[in-house]
Amino acid sequence: MTAHRTGRDRGSGDLFPGQFQSDPLYFEEEARRLGYRRVAGIDEAGRGPLAGPVVAAAVVLPAGCRIAQLTDSKKLTPKLRERLFDEIHARSLAVGVGVSDAGLIDRINILEATRRAMAAAIGRLDPPPDYLLIDAVRLACPTPQRNLVKGDLRSHSIAAASVIAKVTRDRMMDAYHADYPEYNFAKHKGYGTREHRLKIEALGPSAIHRKTFRRVREHCGPQTD
């Protein structure tokens, strides 16, 4: 089966706010009208930070599943994200998570590392999906996909994936805080806050900093073979 495609929206999502759908299950239901049954939403957390991994999640919700207060994870409080994390796991047909660490990000770049984490998350779904809704990223995979600009605001499945990815990554950064308390990762989660940038300047990068990123690479010592 091939996905129905008409115009640019089918490839990259609507580009203009006036075209945004108000029903968060619109894209899932459209896929099911085309005959797909296991529609997965995919999103990531952590493309922008100066330290730590990028984490991707894939979530398959049952048909018609609506979870109260679920939206883009960045618009939710930490407490609400934690509650929704548990509810998503309880109500989903399948959840998968993939992680690309800082070393991989430095080797292959953040976009490719994000794609690799997304592919790993999809690969952990059981049963596997037959259709993908992805927040803005296109993957080289045989499964039909639709890529949505601001997908975490427009698709319930992508919003669910954004919460799983965000909570998983935040918990990882809290664990890293125990190893590197001097950087205060528990507070900023590796993002480039003023406090974090000053810590990098004073202490140099840690093992989990992204050494190819601006504001980190300037403070790396000379590399040796």
User: In sequence order, what are the residues at sequence separation of 6 or more whose Cβ sits closer than 8 angstroms to the Cβ of residue 181?
Assistant: none
User: In sequence order, what are the residues at sequence separation of 6 or more whose Cβ sits closer than 8 angstroms to the Cβ of residue 92?
Assistant: 59, 60, 61, 62, 160
**Residue positions counted in the chain:** 225
Neighbours of 184 (CB within 10 A): 14
**Tens-place pLDDT, residues 1-43:** 444 333 333 444 443 333 345 799 999 999 999 999 999 999 9
Measure the CA–CA gap between 176 and 183, rounded to whole angstroms.
10
Each domain of the chain, given as residue ranges in start order, spans 22-172
Distances (CA, A) of 9 to 67, 90, 118: 26, 32, 21
Q: What are phi and psi of 12, to 5 degrees?
A: -125, 0
On whether the CB atoms of residues 122 and 143 are closer than 8 A, the answer is yes
Measure the CA–CA gap between 111 and 114, rounded to whole angstroms.
5
**Tens-place pLDDT, residues 113-141:** 999 999 999 999 999 999 999 999 999 99
Structure tokens given for 220: 């790396």
**Tens-place pLDDT, residues 152-175:** 999 999 999 999 999 999 999 999
Task: Domain 22-172: give its CATH superfamily.
Answer: Ribonuclease H-like superfamily/Ribonuclease H (3.30.420.10)
Measure the CA–CA gap between 163 and 74, rounded to whole angstroms.
8
- Identify the helix (H) or strand (E) that includes residue 148: strand 145-148
The share of the chain scoring above pLDDT 70, in percent, equals 89
pTM (2 decimals)? Answer: 0.89
On whether the CB atoms of residues 177 and 184 are closer than 8 A, the answer is yes
> What pLDDT is attached to residue 209?
98
The residue whose two tokens read 């998983």 is 168
> What pLDDT is attached to residue 22?
78
> What pLDDT is attached to residue 75?
94
Structure tokens given for 99: 């992680």
Over residues 195-219, the mean pLDDT reads: 97
> What pLDDT is attached to residue 221?
76
